[in-house]
Amino acid sequence: MSNSLDAYLILAGILFAIGSFGFLARRNAISMLMSIELMLNAVNLTIVAFGSFVESLRTSSSVIALIVMAVAAAEATVGLSIVIAIYRNRRTPLVDEYDTLRQ
Amino acid sequence: MAIPDAVPVLGIGWDDVLFMVLAAALIGTGLLVVTMRDIIRCGLAMMACFGALAGLYALLGAPLVAAAQVLVYIGAISVLILFAIMLTETKAAPARLVFQTQAIPAAIAAVVLALIIALTVGSTDWGAVPARLDSATDAVARSLFRDFVLPFEIVGVLLLAAVIGGVFLAKRERSDPS
């Protein structure tokens, strides 16, 4: 099982689905950001798994995974500071209470 | 004493056992991240999830990515998220409803997405070799600093811009210019 690409890809798909569920269903903005991190990690697992089983991607997959990690770190920084800036104005981290445009 | 090639009772290889344990830990902690009520515990479960993923990277023969996963995700991003949780949670506010009203359609959509991915993976020939390939760290370094040197530099500039932007966004604004 650990020597088949399909097992890793399906595992990454399940993790991506969990992350997408969290992004759609949670109310807290930071929970949504954590779900985005889960989805990014699922994609990274896919990249590394391809590099481990496809000869032509052997070294470049690790490089691509490292670059994805750096971009994810940048995304987390900006996303969390946006959440903190909104929290400072609205005093709540719940996204369904950000409804100024609806009133 | 030599370790046998396969697990004595079950008759499956150690790699398979390790894969199953890590996969179960990954999916279990991932589900905890999206379903638990207390958001601090969600953050701690996310750290465990990243740890299981680092184990999977090591199992896949990418030790550099596994080390970077531990350093960047468990070390930096999780701490950042825990700080943000502690900055935005107030003691007075009770953890009311965790989910939006559309949680059930979201769950159905996620299950359908997982099924579609599984079907696609099962019905596609990826041209994969049957054995795992290890990626040597020196080859990765040579590739990173020769073939991928432009993306590497761009990512450096991106990180700098993100850090400056994060500081600017999270900075408390002075209401009066005194």
- Whether chain A has a CB inside 8 Å of the CB on B67: the answer is no
Whether A69 is covered by a domain: the verdict is yes
Q: What is the ipTM of this complex?
A: 0.91
Q: Which fold has domain B1-91?
A: Four Helix Bundle (Hemerythrin (Met), subunit A) (1.20.120)
Angle at B114 between CA B109 and CA B116, to 5 degrees: 90
Whether A103 is covered by a domain: the verdict is no
> Residue B1: pLDDT band by 50, 70, 90 thresholds?
low
Whether A80 is covered by a domain: the verdict is yes
pLDDT tens, position by position, A62-102: 999 999 999 999 999 999 999 998 888 888 888 888 888 88
Q: Give the Cα separation of B157 and B146 in Å (integer).
A: 18
pLDDT tens, position by position, B65-106: 999 999 999 999 999 999 998 888 765 555 566 788 888 999
Q: How far is CA B50 from CA A11, B60, B116, B155, in A?
A: 14, 15, 25, 22
If one counts the domains in chain A, the total is 1
Query: Residue B39 has which token pair?
Result: 């958001």
Indicate yes or no: CB of B34 within 8 angstroms of CB of A14.
no
Whether A50 is covered by a domain: the verdict is yes
Whether A11 is covered by a domain: the verdict is yes
Tokens 């969600």 belong to: B42
Which sign, positive or negative, has the C-alpha torsion A84, A85, A89, A94?
Answer: negative
CATH number at residue A49: 1.10.287.3510
Whether A78 is covered by a domain: the verdict is yes
Whether A49 is covered by a domain: the verdict is yes
- For residue B140, list chain A residues with Cβ-Cβ distance below 8 A: 59, 62-63
> Residue B13: pLDDT band by 50, 70, 90 thresholds?
confident
- Whether chain A has a CB inside 8 Å of the CB on B148: the answer is yes
Mutate: best of A6, A16, A62, A97, partner B, most B CBs <10 A: A62
